[in-house]
Structure 1
Amino acid sequence: MTDKPTLNVGLIGTGFMGKAHVFGYASAQCVFDLPNRFTMHSLADVTEDVATAAARQFGFGRATTDWRELVNDPEVDIVSITAPNALHKEMALAAIAAGKHVYCEKPLAPLASDAREMAEAAEAAGVKTQVGFNYLCNPMLQLARAMIEAGELGEIRGYRGIHCEDYMADATGPFTFRHDPAGGGALADIGSHALATAEYLCGPVARVMGDCVTMIDSRRDGRGGHRAVEVDDVGRAFLRFESGATGSIEGNWIATGRKMQHDFEVYGTKGALAFSQERFNELQYFDTADRTGRQGFRRIEAGPDHAPYGLFCVAPGHQLGFNDLKAIEVAGFARAIAGEIDEPFNFRAGLRIQHLVETIQTSSREAAWLDV
C-alpha cells in the first residue's frame, strides 16, 4: 500500500483556537480515511517561553517568535492562523504569497475590502483556503439543511438565529484586541456565526436592517486609565432572504449567564425546526402532519445515521463535542487540498459573511433597510 503524503502544519497562535486547530488535525487523521497525513511542524507565538512550551505540549518540531519565519519555511504546507483578527490579513497574504494553503479563523478580516483582497490572492495563487466556521460541521445542522432542501418543512417563512455569550459582560474587564475597531465587535466576532448559519440553512440574505449597540462605552486600558470602546456589544439585524422568507439574527457578547448559545428556529408551512448549541447533539422537529392531540416538537438525537457521527462513535446518544466539529472541518479542508471536493468554506465564503456584517453595520448607522 502506498504511503499517504504528509502535509506539514505551521500554527500561528496557541490560545483557545490554536489548541482547537491542533485537536482538529490530530483527530481528523485518526477518525477519517483522509488522502494525506499531518505533521505538526512549526509553531509561532509572541514570546519564546510561550512558543516553546506550546510546541512541547502540542508536539510541534519547531517553535519561533517570528511568524514570518514560519510562513516562509519551504517545508510548511499549511498555515493555520489563530492570531487576533486584525492580523489575519497580513499573515494570510504572506502565506499565500509563499504558496501555502491557509486555514484562518473567523472573522476573515476586519473589513470586507481586506477579505476580498485575501480571497482574490488565494484564487490567483491556486492555494486552498478554509475559514473557521465549524458550527456548520455539526451533523444536526447538516440534517436540518437536508430536511429544508427536501421540502419536509414546506415553504420556509421565518428564521430566528442567535449567538450569545457573556465573556464581555463584566464592565470592569479590560480593553482587548476585540474592542479595537480593527477587531470588529460582537456582530463580527460571534454574530458572524449566526449569519453563516442563517445562509447555510435558508439561502442568501437579500436585505438587512441593522441595530448595533455599544453598552459598555469604555474599558480599562492596562495603564491605569480607560479607553473608549467604539465597537458594538450587541449586533442585531432583521433579514429578508432571497427566497422571500424573513428573519432575524443577534450577536451578543454581554449576555449574562450565556456561555455558548448558538441557536436557531426555522418555520415552514409543513413544519418547524429548533436547535440549541447548548444541546447540540439534538434537533427539535415539529410536523404539521401529526394528528391533532399528538402534535408537538419531538427530539431527533444524533447517532450513526447522521454522518459523520458514526466515525466518532458507534452508539447514538453518546454525543460529539466542540473539538469533534473542528476535526470534521479539518477533514473537509484536507480533502479539498487533495482535490477530492470543493473547499467547504473558503476565503470567498468568508468574504460573503464579512460583507453581510458591514452591510448590517452601515444599516445601523443609517437607520435604514439596505440591499446586500
Structure 2
Amino acid sequence: MVRPMELMLIGCGGMGRRYVAGLSRLVGIGHEGFDGSQVRFSCLVDQVRERAQALADEVAEATGHRPAVAGSIAAGLAAAAVDGAVVASSTIAHASICAELVAAGVSILVEKPLTTDVNSGVETMRAAHAAGVVLAVAENVRREPVNRWARSVLRSGRLGRPRFVLDQVFTGADAIQLTPWRHRAESGGLLLDVAVHNADVLEYLLGPVAAVLGGITRLEEPIRRRASTMTVGSSAFYDRFTPELPETVEADADDVLAALLSFTGGAVGQWVQHQAAHGLRRAERTIWCAAGSIELPPDRSGSLPRVTLDGAVVGREELAALADPDDGPAWSLPPVEAGLWGDARTVAGAGDFAYIDGTLVAIELADFVTAVRGGGTPEVDAATGLRAMALVEAVARAGRDGGPVVPAEFGRARP
C-alpha cells in the first residue's frame, strides 16, 4: 500500500481546472499507486477565494474528496499535508512561488514555461537542486502517443536519417489568447508561453538544435481584443473567466516567430509560430527522411499520422509496427500511459480536445508523483524545460543580433 501523495494546487483558473480534469483521469483508471486513496489534491491556493472554493467543489464532485482552500502558500501548508505542489498560476509568479516552495522543502511540478526568462529559470533550478527537491516542468505535447510513436519510428531507422522538418502554426488573429498576461513582455510573452511546446517536441523527436541559423520575432497585433469565440483548443476550461477579460489589451510581447534551425543529427528545420494570423488557420509538423516522410497531426487532435515510405502511403494497421526495433521488444507505451489510453500500441490517442488534454495532464501528474516518491528525475526536468525556453530566446537573439545563435545547454540537474 503506497502512502497517499498529498498535492497542493496553486492557481485555480483555467489551467487549475485542467489539472483537476487530469487528476480525475489518473485516479479513474485504478492503476496501482494512483487511485483516489493514493494521490489527491489536499489544498487549493488562490488569491481569489471564490475561485478556489468553486474549484474545490469540482474536485469534490470528481474525486469524492474536498481539499482545503487557502489564499496563500503559507496558509495552505498550515491547513493540509503537502508532499508536492502543482504551480498553475500566471508565469510572472512562477519564480517567486517556486522559491517559497523550495524554501519549504516541497517538490514542484510547474507549468511551462518554468519562469519568464532563462536566467531566472536557471536560478530556480539551482535552488531546487541545492534543496534536494524535485522540480518538474509540465510539458505535455511530447507525451501524446503519436509523438511517442514518431520518436521510436525515427530511431528505428526505417525511414532513413531525418533531413528536414517543417513545423508551423498559424492562428490567433487579434484575439486575447485566454488571459491578458500572455501578451505582456513582463510575463515572458505569448511566444515563450506557446512556442516552448514546439521547441520541446522538435528536440524530443530530432535531438538537440545545434544552432539557430537565422530567425526573427516581432509584434504584429499591438491591440488584442476580447473575442466571442476563442481560437485556442483549451478555451473550454477558461470560459467561465471570459466575462472577466477586458475589451482590449495593449500587447508589448512579440506574437510572431520564424526561424531556420540546424540539428546536431544533420537535419535542417523551418519553424514558424504565427500567433497573429488572420484567415486560414494551420498547424503542421512534417519530417522528411532519406527514405520517407511522417506528417504528424495537429497537437491534441487525436488524428492519425500519415507515413509515406518508398513512394507509398503506409496503411493505418501497419503504423505501430514501424516503431518496432529490429532487435528487442516491440514498441509500446509505458504502463500508466497504456492504461490511460486503453491500448499499449495506440498510435494516436482518440477523443476530443478536453479528453486528450486531461489524459496528457494525468501522465504529467503520474510522472511527477513517481519522481517524488522515488527521489528520481522527472521526464521533463528543469534543465529540459530551460532548453525549450533557450531555443525560443535564441530565435529572438538571432533576429536582434544577426548570425547563427547556439542555444544554451543546461545538462540534467538531479536532486
Q: TM-score normalised to the size of structure 1?
A: 0.87
CA distance, structure 1, for counterparts of residue 333 and residue 178 of structure 2: 42
Q: Which of 276, 286, 291 is residue 265 of structure 1 equivalent to?
A: 286
Letter in 1 for 2:88: T
| Aligned residues of 1:109 and 1:354 also touching (Cα < 8 A) | no
**Alpha-carbon offset, residue 117 of structure 1:** 0.9
Residue 95 of structure 2 corresponds to: 89
Q: Which of 209, 212, 215 is residue 217 of structure 2 equivalent to?
A: 212
The SS at the match of 1:4 is: coil
Does the C-alpha gap of structure 1 residues 99 and 68 become closer, same or farther in structure 2, counting only changes over 3 Å? same
CA distance, structure 1, for counterparts of residue 132 and residue 349 of structure 2: 40
CA distance, structure 2, for counterparts of residue 233 and residue 89 of structure 1: 23
Residue 377 of structure 2 corresponds to: 342
| Aligned residues of 1:158 and 1:267 also touching (Cα < 8 A) | yes
Does the C-alpha gap of structure 1 residues 200 and 49 become closer, same or farther in structure 2, counting only changes over 3 Å? same
| Aligned residues of 2:207 and 2:264 also touching (Cα < 8 A) | yes
Q: 1:297-308 counterparts in 2 under 5 A?
A: 298-299=315-316, 306-307=332-333
Does the C-alpha gap of structure 1 residues 263 and 71 become closer, same or farther in structure 2, counting only changes over 3 Å? farther
Moved more, 49-58 or 75-84: 49-58
Moved more, 108-117 or 184-193: 184-193
The SS at the match of 2:374 is: coil
Tell me the alpha carbon deviations over residues 223-276 of structure 1, each in whole angstroms, 9 at most, x when there is no partner.
Answer: 9998753211111211001112100222232234688x6541111102211111
| Aligned residues of 1:174 and 1:219 also touching (Cα < 8 A) | no
Q: 1:167-182 counterparts in 2 under 5 A?
A: 169-170=173-174, 176-182=180-186
**Structure with a larger share of its residues in helix:** 2
| Aligned residues of 1:275 and 1:282 also touching (Cα < 8 A) | yes
| Aligned residues of 1:71 and 1:94 also touching (Cα < 8 A) | no
Residue 51 of structure 1 corresponds to: 52
**Alpha-carbon offset, residue 299 of structure 1:** 4.0
Residue 239 of structure 2 corresponds to: none
Residue 115 of structure 1 corresponds to: 121
| Aligned residues of 1:139 and 1:306 also touching (Cα < 8 A) | no
| Aligned residues of 2:302 and 2:349 also touching (Cα < 8 A) | no
**Alpha-carbon offset, residue 159 of structure 1:** 0.9
Residue 313 of structure 2 corresponds to: 296
| Aligned residues of 1:282 and 1:302 also touching (Cα < 8 A) | no
| Aligned residues of 1:265 and 1:274 also touching (Cα < 8 A) | yes
Tell me the alpha carbon deviations over residues 294-349 of structure 1, each in whole angstroms, 9 at most, x when there is no partner.
Answer: x236446789x852564235577881522111112222222222228631101111
Does the C-alpha gap of structure 1 residues 46 and 187 become closer, same or farther in structure 2, counting only changes over 3 Å? same
Letter in 1 for 2:199: L
**Alpha-carbon offset, residue 149 of structure 1:** 1.0
For the pair 1:312 / 2:340, whether they are aligned, the reply is yes
CA distance, structure 1, for counterparts of residue 279 and residue 340 of structure 2: 31
CA distance, structure 1, for counterparts of residue 78 and residue 387 of structure 2: 29
Tell me the alpha carbon deviations over residues 2-54 of structure 1, each in whole angstroms, 9 at most, x when there is no partner.
Answer: x2111111111122211111222232233263445212111112222222122
CA distance, structure 1, for counterparts of residue 178 and residue 57 of structure 2: 30
- Size of the aligned set, in residue pairs, is 362
Gapped regions of structure 2 (runs ≥ 5): 61-65, 227-243, 322-330, 408-415
CA distance, structure 2, for counterparts of residue 203 and residue 243 of structure 1: 7
Residue 370 of structure 1 corresponds to: 405
Residue 157 of structure 1 corresponds to: 163
Does the C-alpha gap of structure 1 residues 87 and 257 become closer, same or farther in structure 2, counting only changes over 3 Å? farther
Q: TM-score normalised to the size of structure 2?
A: 0.78
Letter in 2 for 1:285: V
The SS at the match of 1:282 is: coil
The SS at the match of 1:232 is: coil
| Aligned residues of 1:179 and 1:185 also touching (Cα < 8 A) | yes
Q: Percent identity?
A: 25
| Aligned residues of 1:163 and 1:193 also touching (Cα < 8 A) | no
Does the C-alpha gap of structure 1 residues 164 and 132 become closer, same or farther in structure 2, counting only changes over 3 Å? farther
Does the C-alpha gap of structure 1 residues 212 and 27 become closer, same or farther in structure 2, counting only changes over 3 Å? same
Residue 237 of structure 1 corresponds to: 259
**CA RMSD between the two structures:** 3.1
Residue 391 of structure 2 corresponds to: 356
The SS at the match of 1:157 is: strand
For the pair 1:134 / 2:140, whether they are aligned, the reply is yes
Does the C-alpha gap of structure 1 residues 216 and 99 become closer, same or farther in structure 2, counting only changes over 3 Å? same
Does the C-alpha gap of structure 1 residues 274 and 8 become closer, same or farther in structure 2, counting only changes over 3 Å? same
